[in-house]
Structure 1
Amino acid sequence: MSGDSLVAGSLVAADYVVFALMLVVSTSIGVYFVWANRGQESSRDFLTGGRILTAFPVSISLTASFMSSITVLSTPAETYIYGAICLYFGIGYILATVVVSEVFLPFFYRMAITSAYEYLEMRFNRATRLLGTVIFIFQTLLYTGIVIYGPALALSQIADIDLWGGIITTGIVCTLYCTLGGLKAVVWTDVFQIGIMISGFMAVIIKSVILQGGLFKVISDSQQGGRLNFLDFDINPMRKYTFWTLVIGGTLNNLVISGIHQPQVQRYVSCKTITHARIALYIYMVGMCTFLVFTVFAGMCLFSVYKNCDPWTAGQVSSLDQLMPYLVMYVLTDHSGLPGLFVAAVWSGALSTVSTSINALAAVTLEDLIKPYTNMSEKHLLWLSKGLTVFYGILCIALAGLASVLGTMIQASVTVFTATGGPLLGTFILGILFPFTNSKGALSGLLLGLAASSCVSIGGLIYPPSPAMARPLPLSTEGCDFNATDSFNWTSTAFPKESISIITSLNGDGNHQLADIWQSPSYLYFGPIGTVTTIIVGLVVSLFTGGQRSRVDSRVTFMKEDTTFYYLFMLIKDRVMSREAKSNTTESRL
C-alpha cells in the first residue's frame, strides 16, 4: 500500500448531522420518561426502574453498558498488535455467566436491594459496607473518565472534533437524560445506542472486506501475518495474552463485572421476575460473544489494510486507540454520513457506559452514604437522587483528564476495574459461600486484597512487561512512501499519549534496579490476585478469630434452592418418583 492510501479524509456536513441526530434522540428518550413518569414519587423507582422491566431491554442495556467505546476502539487495536487470540475472552464470558446465573443473580434478586453494598452490612458490618462503597465510587469515577476521555482524544486527532468539546458534550448529554428519566431512560437509551454502535461498526467491516477483495483475503492476510495465533498455551503468567491468561483472567474479571458490579446488579433487580433477569443475562452473554467476534475481525481487517504500511510505526497516529478511527476516515470518506455513523457509534458506546455509571454512583451514594443517616421523605430523596446524578456527571467530566496517564484504553479499563473489583469479588464470595467468615476476616481480606492488587497494578504501570513478555506481532512500513504533502502532524500537547512516556521520567536514566527485579504479570491477573488474596486472608483471619460465633441468617448466604440446577434436579426427581408411583400402583392392581 502506498503512502497516499494512508491519507485519511475529514468529516463533512452529513456526518455531523448523523452525529447530532444521535445526541438529540438520546436526550429525547430522557424527556419522554419525564412525561411518562410524571407521577413518580420514589427514589427507588428512579434508581431501579420500579422492578417492572422485561428481559429484552435489560439484556440490551447490559450489553450496551459493557460494549463501550473502549470495546469499539481498543479491541481491534489489540488484535492488530497481538492477534486474534483475544477471541478466548469469549470463554471467560461464558464461564462467568454460568456462575453469575447460579450464584450471584438469584442471590441479589432475592435480596431486592438497590445497592449491592447493602449486603456487606447485612452479612458483616457497616465498616465493610462503607469501604466497599468507597472503592466502587473510586473505581467507577476513574473508569468513566477513561470512557469519556479515550474516544474524545482518539477522534479529535483523526477527525475535526474538538477534544474537550467532545468530553463536555458526552458528559452533558448523559447527565441530562439520566437526571430526567432515571434508570428507565438509561436502559431504553442503551437499546437505541446499541443499534447505532452495531450499524457504525458493521459499515467499517463490510467496506474493509470489499476493499480488500473478500472475506477470505482478510483471513489469508491475517494468517500470513501471524494473527491467527490460537495455539499459544504458554502458562507463563508474565505473558500478556495466552490461552490461560485470557480464560482464567477473563473469567474472574467478568465475574467482577457481571456478578457484583453495581450497574449490573441494578439491572438484575429491575426485572419483574428472576426468569426475566436470567434470560437477560444469557442474551447479554450471546451479545458480548458476538460483538467480540466482530471487534476481533475488525482488527484483522485493520491488519489486512495496513499490513505493508503500519500507521502507528510510521507516525501517522499517536496511539493505538486511533487506528480504528484512522481506518474509518480512509475507507468511508467517499460515503457521506458513514464516517459520522461510526463517530456516533463510538460516542454511543461512551454515552451508554457513562450514563450507567452515573446512575449507579447516585444509587450507591444515596443508599449507602445518605439514607442510613437521615430520615428524609421520599419526595426529598427523589430530588436528592437527581441532584446526585448531576453532581456525578460534572465530576466525571472533570476527572476525564486523569485517564491520559493509564495507557491504552482496554488495558487501563481492565486495570481500574479489576484492581479494585477483584478484592470486592473476594469479599462477596466470603460472605455468600463461606458462612463461618466473620466481619474481622472480611474486612482484613478486603484491605489486604486491595493492597495486593494495587501493588501489582501500580508496578505494572510504572514497569510494564518487556516486549519479550508482551510479544507484540511484527508490523511493517516497507510499503510506505511518504512525502511532505502526505504527512500529518499528529503532535498533541493535550496530554501524554501513552503511559510509557511518563515512565521514562519516573525511572530516570541512572537507577533501573527495581525494574530489573520487578516482573509484572499480565494485567488480566491483577484482579484475580486481589480476589485470591482476599479469600485466603479472610478465611485465615476468621479461623484465628473464632469464626462466625452467631448463626448466620440463611437468606444472606448461598441457597441451593435458588439455582436452576437444583430446580432441574428436583423436576427430574419428581417425574421419576411419579413414574415409580404409577408403576407401583399398576403392579398392586395386578
Structure 2
Amino acid sequence: MSNLDWAVLISTLLAIVLYGIYKSRGTQSIDGFLLGNRSMPWYSVCLSVMATQASAITFLSAPGLAYASGMSFVQFYLGLPLAMIVLCITFVPIFHRLKVYTAYEYLEQRFDLKTRALTAFLFLIQRGLSTGITIYAPAIILSAILNLNPTITTIFIGTLVIVYTVYGGSKAVSYTQMLQMAIIFFGLFVAGLVVVQLLPSNVGFGKAISIAGKMGRTNAIDFTFDWDNPYTVWSGLIGGFFLQLSYFGTDQSQVGRYLTGASVGQSRMGLLMNGLVKIPMQFLILLIGVLVFAFYQFNKPPVFFNSFELNKLEKSRYQGDLKAINAEYSTVFKEKQQELEKLGIALDQDDQVTIDQQRLVLKEADDKAKVIRKKATDLMLKNDPKADINDNNYIFLSFVTEYLPKGLIGLLIAIIFLASMGSTASALNSLASTSVIDIYKRLVHKNGTDQHYLKASRMATFFWGFICILMALYASKIGNLIEAVNILGSYIYGTILGVFLVAFYLRQVNGRAVFMAAIITEIIVCICGYQKVVAYLWLNVIGCLLVVVLALIFQLFQKKTPDSGEVRNLK
C-alpha cells in the first residue's frame, strides 16, 4: 500500500477507537457497561444491529462468493423482514417490560434455572466459535498486505478489539458502530462506481452484468424447491426466517443491541429499519462481487488469489513448476478472451443463437482454468501440507489492493477492519454479559455489588477475547467464512428459538419438558448436520419445530405442575 493508504487506514481506525472511548467515558455501572444505560435512539439501534451482523466476513467473503458461484446467497436474507415484524410484536416488548440484561434471564422466570443455563451455554459455544471466525477475517487482510503469517495479524487484531471493548463496554460499541456504518455505506458505494469505471470503455454496467449473467453469476432468485440447495427462495423465506428470528430474538449479541433502546418504540423502529435496509445492502455487496468477476474477464486474474500462499510457492523448490502452470494459465486466458469478444458482439447484435453457443464455450474455458488452478493448489500442498488452498476470501481483497486508486485502497481496507471491530466488539460484550449475568451471578457469586459485577464483566470480556483469538487461529481450515458462520449458527439457533417459542406461546409446558426436548433436539440436529441430510438452513426449521413438538409430548407424560405457565420472580 502507498503512504496515503496507510494514512487513511490508520487515521480512520484511530478516529473510531478514540471516538468510542470518548463517548463511553464515565461508564461506572453494570447497566452502563452491558446495555449503555438503555438510552440509545432508534437510528443508533438500527446501525448497531446492522454493524453487529455485517462483520468483515460480509465484505470479504460475500464478494468472493458472488465471484465464484453467483448472487444466490442474497436469498438467505429473504426471511429477515418477516422475522423483524415477529420480533417487534413479541420479543421486544417482553424483554423491555422485564428489564432483563440478557434474553436468557426470561427463561428462568418462565421455566427454571437449568433451562436458562442450557440456552446460555449453547449461545456461548456458538458465539465464541463464530467470533473467532470474525476476528480471522481482517487478519488475512494484513497478512496479504504485509506478507506476514496470519497468526501474527490475528493476534494483533484480536488484541486491538479487546482493549477498547474492555474499557467502554456496550456504549463504546454502539457509538463506534454508528460511525462505522456511515463510513461503510460510503465506501461500498464508491467501490461499486470504481469497478464500473475500470471496465473497458466499450463495456458499460449493463453489458458487464449481461456477460456475468451468461456465465452464471446473476442467479439471484431460484424458485425450485430442493432440500439440498441452501440458497433458494423457499429455503430463504422459511429456513432463513427461522434462522433470523432465532439470531435476532435469542442471540445475546443482537438482543443486547436493541435492549440499549430508550423505549420499546425506539427498539422496534431500529429493528424494522434494519429489516428494510439489510437486503439491499447485501445485494449491493454481492453485486460488487459480480462486477469484479466481469472485470476479471477482461483482465487476467492471478492463478491463486491468496498472495501469501502464492509467494511461499514462488520461493520454494517448485517455482519452476509454478512458472509452467502460470504459462498454461495465460494461454487459456487468451483463448477465453477471443471467445469473450465473440460473446460481446453477439450481445450487441442480440444474436441469441451465438449467445447460447458462446455461453457453452466460455463454460468450457472456465472449466479448463479450474483444472489449472487445481494444479497450483496441489503444488501448494506438496510444498506445505498445511497450506490454505481456499482463496475465496481473498478475491475482493486482491482486486482492491491491485487495482483501486491510492487512498481508496486504505478506505476499503479500513471498512473491512471497522466491520470486524463492530461485530467482534458486540460479540465480546454479549459473551461477557451472558457469562456474568446468566452463569457467574446465578451459579457462582449471587450477592455481589454492582462494582463487583462490573469488574467481573470486564474480566469476562478479556477472557472471551483470548478464547476467540485461539479459535481464530484455526479459522483458515473451514473454507468460505460467511458460510461457515451461518452453518455453525444453524446447528444451534433452531433449538434456542424453539425454547423461546414454547416459553411465549405454550403456557402449559413446564421447564422439565422443554429442557429434555432441547437436549434431544440438539443431538438430532447435530447428527443431521454432520450427515448433511438437508441443506444447512433447514436445520433451523427442524430444530425449532422439534423442540416444540417434543416439549408438548413430554408434557403429556408428566403430571400437571401447578402454575407451570406463570412467570416466577427471581430471588
Q: Is 1:346 aligned to residue 422 of structure 2?
A: no
Q: Hey, what does 1:500 align to over in structure 2?
A: none
Report the Cα offset of residue 540 of structure 1.
1.2
Q: Which residue of 1 aligns with 2:116?
A: 129
Map 1:256-275; keep pairs closer than 5 Å. 256-275=246-265
Question: 2:494 aligned with 1:422, yes or no?
Answer: yes
Provide the rounded CA distance (Å) in 2 between the counterparts of 1:81 and 1:223.
13
Structure 2 residue 354 is matched with structure 1 residue 364: no
- Give, in whole Å, the separation in 2 of the partners of 1:53 and 1:270: 6
2:260 equivalent to 1:247: no
Distance 1:286 1:352, change over 3 A: same
- Write the mapping of 1:22-61 to structure 2, written as runs, cut at 5 A: 22-33=12-23, 35=25, 37=26, 40-61=27-48
Report the Cα distance in structure 1 between the residues aligned to 2:42 and 2:129, rounded to whole angstroms: 30
What count of residue pairs does the alignment treat as equivalent? 482
Correspondence 1:128-277 to 2 at 5 A: 128-153=115-140, 156-157=143-144, 160=147, 162-212=149-199, 213-230=203-220, 232-277=222-267
SS of the residue 2:100 aligns to: coil
Query: 1:582 corresponds to which residue?
Result: none
Partner deviation per Cα, 1:95-132 (whole Å, 9 max, x = no partner)? 11111111212221222100111111111111111111
Gap change, CA 1:528 and 1:548, over 3 Å in 2: farther
Change (3 A) 1:119 1:306: same
Query: Is this contact kept in 2: 1:435–1:552, CA < 8 A?
Result: yes
Contact 2:49–2:258, Cα closer than 8 Å, also in 1 = no
Q: How far apart are the structure 1 equivalents of 2:520 and 2:232?
A: 28
Cα distance between partner residues in 1 of 2:139 and 2:514: 40
Taking structure 2 as the reference length, the TM-score comes to 0.80
Q: Do the aligned partners of 1:75 and 1:296 also contact (CA within 8 Å) in 2?
A: yes
Structure 1 counterpart of 2:176, which letter? Answer: T
Report the Cα distance in structure 2 between the residues aligned to 1:264 and 1:244, rounded to whole angstroms. 25
Is the contact made by 2:136 and 2:154 (CA closer than 8 Å) also made in structure 1?
yes
Deviation string 1:470-508 (CA, Å, 9 cap, x unpaired) is xxxxxxxxxxxxxxxxxxxxxxxxxxxxxxxxxxxxxxx
What are structure 2's unaligned runs of at least 5 residues? 305-369, 377-388
Deviation of residue 438 (structure 1)?
Answer: 1.3
- Which range moves more in the overlay, 193-202 or 373-382? 193-202
Query: Residue 433 of structure 1 corresponds to which residue in structure 2?
Result: 505
- Tell me the amino acid that sits aligned with residue 74 of structure 1: S
Q: Determine if contact 1:198/1:345 at 8 Å carries over to the other structure.
A: no
Q: Which residue identity does 1:387 align to in structure 2? A: M
1:384 aligns with 2:456: yes
1:447 is matched with which residue? 519
1:539 to 544, 549, 552: 552
CA–CA distance in structure 2, aligned partners of residues 195 and 269 of structure 1: 22
Higher mean alpha-carbon deviation, 336-345 vs 163-172, is at 163-172
Q: CA deviation at 1:158?
A: 5.9
Query: Cα distance, 1:307 vs. partner?
Result: 3.6
What amino acid maps onto 1:413 in structure 2? V
Letter in 1 for 2:239: G
Structure 1 residue 363, shift from structure 2 partner: 0.5
Residues 1:133 and 1:166: Cα distance change in structure 2 (over 3 Å): same
Give deviations 1:307-331, integer Å, cap 9, x for gaps.
4766563548842111111221232
Is the contact made by 1:109 and 1:268 (CA closer than 8 Å) also made in structure 2? Answer: no
Shift in alpha-carbon separation, 1:241–1:90, aligned structure 2, 3 A: closer
2:456 maps to a residue whose letter is L
Closer, same or farther: CA 547–348 of 1 in aligned 2, 3 Å = farther
* Gap change, CA 1:307 and 1:99, over 3 Å in 2: farther
Q: How does 1:86-101 map to 2 (within 5 A)?
A: 86-101=73-88
Q: For residue 475 of structure 2, what is the aligned residue in structure 1?
A: 403
Partner letter of residue 406 of structure 2? Answer: S
Q: Distance in 1 between matches of 2:497 and 2:560?
A: 20
Give, in angstroms, the shift of residue 448 of structure 1. Answer: 1.5
What residue number does 1:85 align with? 72
User: Cα deviation per residue 1:251-283 (whole Å; 9 max; x = unaligned)?
Assistant: 111112211111221122211111111111112
- Deviation, 1:526, is 2.4
Structure 1 unaligned residues grouped into runs of 5+:
1-10, 461-519, 557-590
Q: Indicate how the Cα distance of structure 1 residues 257 and 163 shifts in structure 2: closer, same or farther if over 3 A, else same.
A: same
Cα deviation code 1:146-197 (max 9, x no counterpart): 1111332355236646523332232122112112111110001111222232
Q: Distance in 2 between matches of 1:419 and 1:24?
A: 37
List per-residue Cα deviations over 1:277-307 (Å, max 9, x = no partner).
Answer: 1111112122312211211211221221124
- Deviation sequence 1:507-560 (CA, Å, 0-9, x none): xxxxxxxxxxxxx4212222222222222211211122245542523799xxxx
Query: Contact 1:29–1:177 (CA<8 Å) still a contact in 2?
Result: no
TM-score, scaled relative to structure 1: 0.77
1:64 aligns with 2:54: no
The Cα shift of 1:387 comes to 1.7
Consecutive aligned runs of 4 or more in structure 1 exceeding 3 Å deviation: 157-162, 307-318, 546-549
Distance in 1, matches of 2:502 and 2:147, equals 50
Deviation at 1:459, TM superposition (A): 2.9
Partners in 1 of 2:246 and 2:301 — Cα distance?
36
Q: 1:539 to 1:455 in 2, by over 3 A?
A: same
The two structures, once aligned, show a CA RMSD in angstroms of 2.2
CA deviation string 1:338-358 (max 9, x = no partner):
112111111111111110011
Q: Which residue of 1 aligns with 2:333?
A: none
The answer (yes or no) to whether the contact 1:238–1:522 under 8 Å persists in 2 is yes
Structure 2 CA distance, aligned partners of 1:259 and 1:345? Answer: 27
Q: Which residue pairs with 1:499 in the alignment?
A: none
* CA displacement 1:175-227 (0-9 Å, x = unmatched): 12112111110001111222232233333211111122432122212222233
8 Å Cα contact 1:76-1:297 kept in structure 2: yes
Structure 1 stretch displaced more, 63-72 or 260-269: 260-269
Equivalent position of 1:522 in the other structure = 535
AA matched with 1:533: L
